[in-house]
Structure 1
Amino acid sequence: MDLWRDKRLRLSVTRLGVQYLLAMLAMGAAAVNTGNNLLYLVFSLMLGLFLASGWVSRRAIQGLHLRGVEEGNIFARVRGGIRVRFRDDAPARMRGVEIHLEMEDAQVEPGFLAGGEGRGEGVATLHVKPGRRGWAGLRSVEFRTAFPFGFLEKAWRFPLEQRVLVLPHPRSLPPRQDAEGDRSRPRTRPGSASPDGARPFRDWDPLSRVHWKRTAQRGTPWVRTFEDEESAGVRLRLDLGAWEAGGPFERELEVLSGSILQARLQRRQVFLDLLGRDGRVELEGYTRCWRALARARAGGLCRGPEID
């Protein structure tokens, strides 16, 4: 494929390139007016350097092919990562390429590909900060380079028709004592009597497991944990019919999202009960619960493409 004739290619002169062109033209005008051979030589060298910069930057961006974009777990108003996969036909070539992603309602920091690593398949992680939860469209991925001298910038754009799901912001709040999900009953498997560590006291923990030394050190109750201890998990509940669209509903989703994140850090199972006009749906697992909250609508249905 001829890169110069590709409609996705955008060529622009940088600020440094404009300054360089003005200096080169001034040098050429001085050479013509004075007839000085030394000035002609300097002008020729400057022109050759400018053309070489364009040729090298053309090779630096040539041979890159977009393979796909992977979303991962991205939270609203939190810096997360999106992975861009690409194929490099010349893995030994120096690149100096910036990778830009255009995403709806989000701030995206570009990634960088130095090249010369000798791998034909590559992955670049771009940091994004979405502004809201829900579906967000990915519009394009662009490879840009001004390598090696910064006179010319070439950008190769790949349009996208893809959506990623932005999860609710994980709001961190003190546990609510009336919430079913904030209580758990540990279950120790038979034969697991070897102490493993300690953790803060939770409701329904037996007093026989209190770690008195750690409690005295911290000033709050702590209990012993054991190897292969199996947790009863965290059960969360959301009644869609009891909410109206707006700020309070979004804050409730963020509180639930924060509870899921806390449970994941504590390696506890998570269950989410969604109640709506069409009944009740029970979800299990961090990712499934997060995605259900990201697509939840106040007063909406529990079943259907919005939740399942």
Structure 2
Amino acid sequence: MATSLASGKRTGLYQDFLDRLDRPGWKKFASAMGALAIGFLLAIYSGVFAQEGRTVATGICASLALLLAGYVALTAVPYLARRTSLEWLRVTVDYQITREGWAFIAMIFVLAIAGLNTGNNLLYLVLASLLAAILMSGILSFVVLMGVELEILLPDHVFARRPAPAQIHLRNRKKFLPSFSITLAGKAEEEKKAKRASRKRAEAPHAQAHPKPLQEASGGTRSSRASDEGKPEADQRILRQPLYFPFVPAGRAVTRSVELEFPRRGLYRENGFALSTRFPFGFLEKTLQLPIARTLWVYPAVEPTEEFYEILPMLSGELEAFQRGRGHDLYSIRDMLSTDSARHIDWKASARTGTLKVREFTREDERRLQLILDRRVGPSPEGPGEGSGPQPLEQFEMAVEFCACLAWHFHEVDAQLQFICDSFQTPSARAGEIIYDILRFLAAVEPSADAPLTPPGGVAGEENVFRIICTAAPRGSVPTTLWSRSYLIFFDSLRPTAGQTVPQ
């Protein structure tokens, strides 16, 4: 049984090899090699005839050899070149000598100097073996990275400070050769490593020639500020930690499940990914750059806050009345549920059927719920001595997350909702239909430098609307008519949640 399975597998591999074989190309190659072999024999005979002094035979054999070589060059070579896959020639593989590699090279130089001084053949033999090890290390690491494909599956909806599952597939297209010890990292991570190495080399002589920078009035140094300028860009990468694949079988794929977690909302991107390996000896680290770009919008966090629990009782009353309908027209009569109010019992229908029945009324669509975000925070305080500079940005981030929390709650209770922020406005619909449009806008919204003199009033001309307004306007600037039909949440009343960060 096992023998028949093994023979069947070998037959299948042989048939697959024949199917993938380019028979016309191989026939052309065989004919070209035959012509070149005949030309080589004719060239040998022409040399023999020249030694014997037979000039005519020498000229004929030499001319035929040149004609055969020209025929192969004009017919077979272009034909075979057009049928040859040259993708591997366009692959650029970067390499870097590791610390172990530098130590190994230093040992080679020591042995080379010792061999030159002593003339010992054994040292030359050992030196040749060490050089062959470096050569084989480069070849094997190149083979490991070739034929490897990457596929990254990101989730559709990701929230800040909430783990999001992602799938990473690494496929080895090589039929017979597996791949070993591959590390996957984002392109930003590879650039960061290269910049760190170049900065170390540049700062070595620079630290001796220049003194330590003086602290500025704000309490930081110029060097620290320069490093801080690069942090937002580095923090916007998707794959933050490298992934290690110890073994990828030939012709198969390896899948890794990773949890991505992002500290704040916004757009995260990877301009490319890099596969690197130190196989087999660790002397060279070769890196294959993959032009695979990925972008991911991260929504604000939707975890309930303390302010949300404070206003929830008031909102629950409004939503409960709104969802059950405020109309007077009878819609249907149904069996009573434990959550129904006793004032809606239809006693006549209950007496006729013997079970409690309640009346349902049509819903009036005139009364709606609006969630309004005022993104005006005013100009940021300037000057190095201002301690309250980031405060408006922090308050704005808290307001954005609070709006996301409210919108998500309305989505869970299936409420009728409309979201408004400046020119952005969603239609009044069930929250489940527009929730991701709202979250996508909140993921990208930025504060405005305009001064919030008065809070926004929503859409003009709509009076039968209950509004929840998040604004940075002063409390004394709210009109009385807006107080009566709205609930206002002021930025300065919000408190930051655990783990909340502010984008730079």
TM-score band, normalised by shorter chain: 0.5 to 0.7
What one-letter code is carried by the residue in structure 2 that aligns with 1:158?
A: L
Query: Is it true that 1:100 corresponds to 2:100 in the alignment?
Result: no
Residues 40 and 156 of structure 1, relative CA distance in 2, 3 Å threshold: same
Contact 2:172 2:178 in 1 (8 A): no
> 1:228 is matched with which residue?
none
Whole-angstrom distance in 1 between the partners of 2:168 and 2:107: 39
SS at match of 2:439: helix
Deviations 1:108-161 (A, max 9, x none): 111122333466345445555545422233211111111122111111112345
Structure with a larger share of its residues in strand? 1
Contact 1:109 1:126 in 2 (8 A): no
Whole-angstrom distance in 2 between the partners of 1:137 and 1:39: 53
Q: Which has the larger radius of gyration?
A: 2
Deviations 1:274-297 (A, max 9, x none): 124455434416655533431345
Aligned match for 1:90, one of 174, 181, 194: 174
Query: Is it true that 1:238 corresponds to 2:371 in the alignment?
Result: yes
What one-letter code is carried by the residue in structure 1 that aligns with 2:396?
A: F
Aligned match for 1:111, one of 221, 228, 243: 243
Give the TM-score of the pair, scaled to structure 2: 0.42
Structure 2 alignment gaps of length 5 or more: 1-84, 189-232, 325-333, 342-367, 378-392, 449-455, 460-504
> 2:106 is matched with which residue?
22
Whole-angstrom distance in 2 between the partners of 1:47 and 1:110: 31
Whole-angstrom distance in 1 between the partners of 2:160 and 2:114: 58
Shift of 1:20: 1.0
Residues 257 and 122 of structure 1, relative CA distance in 2, 3 Å threshold: farther
> 2:149 is matched with which residue?
65
> 1:255 is matched with which residue?
402
Contact 2:155 2:164 in 1 (8 A): no
Contact 1:111 1:125 in 2 (8 A): no
Residues 250 and 61 of structure 1, relative CA distance in 2, 3 Å threshold: same
SS at match of 2:246: strand
Question: How many matched pairs?
Answer: 260
Query: Is it true that 1:173 corresponds to 2:305 in the alignment?
Result: yes
Contact 2:172 2:250 in 1 (8 A): no
Shift of 1:13: 1.0
Structure 1 alignment gaps of length 5 or more: 194-203, 207-234, 303-308
Moved more, 156-165 or 85-94: 85-94
What one-letter code is carried by the residue in structure 1 that aligns with 2:371?
A: L
Whole-angstrom distance in 1 between the partners of 2:408 and 2:249: 36
Contact 1:272 1:284 in 2 (8 A): no
> 1:35 is matched with which residue?
119
Whole-angstrom distance in 2 between the partners of 1:98 and 1:146: 9
What one-letter code is carried by the residue in structure 1 that aligns with 2:286?
A: K
Whole-angstrom distance in 2 between the partners of 1:35 and 1:270: 90
Residues 262 and 238 of structure 1, relative CA distance in 2, 3 Å threshold: closer
Aligned match for 2:443, one of 285, 288, 294: 294
Residues 149 and 191 of structure 1, relative CA distance in 2, 3 Å threshold: farther
Contact 2:178 2:247 in 1 (8 A): yes
RMSD, aligned α-carbons: 4.3
Give the TM-score of the pair, scaled to structure 1: 0.65
SS at match of 1:147: coil
Query: Is it true that 1:13 corresponds to 2:97 in the alignment?
Result: yes
Aligned identity (percent) is 22
Whole-angstrom distance in 2 between the partners of 1:122 and 1:270: 44
Shift of 1:31: 1.9
Query: Is it true that 1:153 corresponds to 2:285 in the alignment?
Result: yes
Aligned match for 1:274, one of 407, 410, 419: 419
Structure with a larger share of its residues in helix? 2
Residues 157 and 117 of structure 1, relative CA distance in 2, 3 Å threshold: same
What one-letter code is carried by the residue in structure 2 that aligns with 1:291?
A: R
Residues 40 and 165 of structure 1, relative CA distance in 2, 3 Å threshold: same
SS at match of 1:178: helix
Shift of 1:32: 2.2
